[in-house]
Each structure stands twice: as structure tokens, then as C-alpha cells.
Amino acid sequence: MLSKKQARVFFLGGTLVTFLIFISLTIFSLSKAQDQSHRENITPAVIRGKRLWESNNCMGCHTILGEGAYYAPELTKVVERKGEGMIKAILMSPEPWQPNGRKMVAYGMSEQEANDMIAFFKWIGQIDLNGFDRVVSPLAKNTNTN
């Protein structure tokens, strides 16, 4: 059995060691060597596409990088799955798109806006997901067929 002084030293020592491990792992995670986002590939088109993604509340229905709603398909690797032509046609269509009985808003984007969204999707698709892309949501599985 530990004395009161030994218990205090044990507690403070354990807390200090845990804190140091936490800080060192945080620094390691934020280091440039661990950056998998390919920031150097961020262009003005990617930034405009991200702004369109946010202003149209795409995350209200879709997921990207595993974040968002699960009503519509995961869009992290959508360019690889569907191709630029189909994505552009859907985004520029004046009519609502209705895959699998679900209705997507007709955004009627301009060609420039659709290209910006595609640039954003391409940039997102380049991020190293550490195997996440092999874990696909059930809704995304339905859309993997070309």
C-alpha cells in the first residue's frame, strides 16, 4: 500500500508523463512531415469550389471525408467514381436530379462554378485517407456503378 506522499508523487508523475506524451504526439501530428492534405495543390478554383460547397450547404445531404449528412452519397472520391462529365452535368442541370428516388436540388450552376466544384472534389480526392476510401458508406456503394 502506498503512503499519502507516495500516492501524490505517483499521481503527479503519471500526470506529467501523460501530459508530455500528449504534447509530443500533438507536435508530431501537426508537423509538416505528417501533412497529407497537399496544400500546395490548392488553387483559386479549389477555394471557389469550397466556398460553393459551403454556400450551397452540400454537407446538409452529402458527406465528404466522412463528415456531413448521410442522406446522399459520400463525395470524397466522386471524380474517380463518376467522372468530370457526369458531375458537371448534374451541377449545371436546370432540372432536379433524382437518383434512387432521392431528389437533389437543381443548382443550375454556370460552367465556371461547376469547374470550381470539380477542382475542389479533385483536391479532396488527392488527400491520403489512410484507408478510409475502402470503408464506403452504404449510400456511396449504390453510386459506385458507372
- Let me know whether 85 and 115 are in one domain: yes
Per the structure, the count of domains in the chain is 2
Residue 8 has pLDDT above 90, yes or no: yes
Same domain, 48 and 110: yes
Residues 5-41 as b or e (16 or more Cβ within 10 Å = b): eeeeeeeeeeeeeeeeeeeeeeeeeeeeeeeeeeeee
> Which CATH number belongs to the domain containing residue 74 in this structure?
1.10.760.10
pLDDT digits (tens, 9 = 90+) for 46-66: 999 999 999 999 999 999 988
CA-based end-to-end distance of the chain: 67
Q: Which residue's C-alpha cell is 501530428? A: 29
Predicted confidence band of residue 134 (pLDDT cuts 50, 70, 90): low
Confirm whether pTM is higher than 0.75.
Answer: no
Write out pLDDT tens, residues 15-39: 999 999 999 999 988 887 776 677 7
Q: Are 21 and 59 found together in one domain?
A: no
Residues 30 and 98 in one domain: no
Residues 54 and 97 in one domain: yes
Separation between Cα atoms, residue 72 and residue 83, nearest integer Å? 17
The answer on 45 and 7 residing in a single domain is no
Distance of CA 74 to the CA centre of its chain: 9
Domain encompassing residue 119: 37-142
Q: How confident is the model at residue 105 (pLDDT cuts 50, 70, 90)?
A: confident
Indicate whether 26 and 91 sit together in one domain. no
| Domain match, 72 and 132 both | yes
49: left (phi over 0), alpha (psi -120 to 50) or beta: alpha
